[in-house]
Amino acid sequence: MSPSEVAVASYIAQRAFETGETEQLLIPLDRPFQLTSGESHDAFIRKLYFAIAQAFIKHQKILYAGSRDIPNTDDVRAWLNSPIFRSSGGGATALGFGASGTHGSTPNTSAGFTEAGFKNAVDTWLDYAFPSPSDGGFICVLDNLELLQTHKVARDLLEALRDSV
């Protein structure tokens, strides 16, 4: 089956859920993925998790409409899609009749969450939204599997992915 045929089948599967033909919610990720010989297992997993997080954000309405239990995605949405974090605060005193306020912004450079907390957050979302395989999941298309015939590195990467994703 070609990647475009898989994309069409994935769309049809999602529509079947939306129209009530099935209770299994299958949501295709926006784009196909490609294995490259120079890409590590961890780099590919990171790229896949970012796509899944964006899909949770993009398809939040259908997930809620389908009674899927997903946590609030606002914090991760801001972390993924905002180049700047904004903050504000204030204070007041009662007898001194004082008030104060602060406002600031900081570039988004939070690498620690990328390496540990982000993957855990997405795993939790997946567990809540799709507690069993019959509940559905996200569909990821690997577009260049012809590399498996000629590149041992790509074959090894796919083998490692099979057990971890």
Q: What is the pLDDT of residues 29-72, one digit of tens each?
A: 988 887 776 777 788 888 888 899 889 988 988 888 888 877 77
- Per-residue pLDDT, averaged over 76-105, amounts to 61
Range in 89-93, 141-145, 156-160 the model is least confident about: 89-93
Q: Which residues pair with 105 in a beta bridge?
A: 86
Q: Where are the alpha helices (DSSP H) in 59-87?
A: 60-65, 74-81
pLDDT winner (highest mean) among 2-16, 30-44, 61-75, 140-154: 2-16
Q: What is the bridge-based pairing of β-strands 25-28 and 136-139?
A: parallel
What number of residues does the chain have? 165
What span, in angstroms and rounded, lies between the C-alpha atoms of 34 and 141? 8
| pLDDT at residue 112 in the model | 47
Task: Calculate helix-pair angle for 41-58, 74-81, nearest 10 degrees.
Answer: 120
Q: Is the pLDDT of residue 16 over 90?
A: yes
* Residue 61: both structure tokens together: 């309405």
Q: Is the pTM of this model over 0.85?
A: no
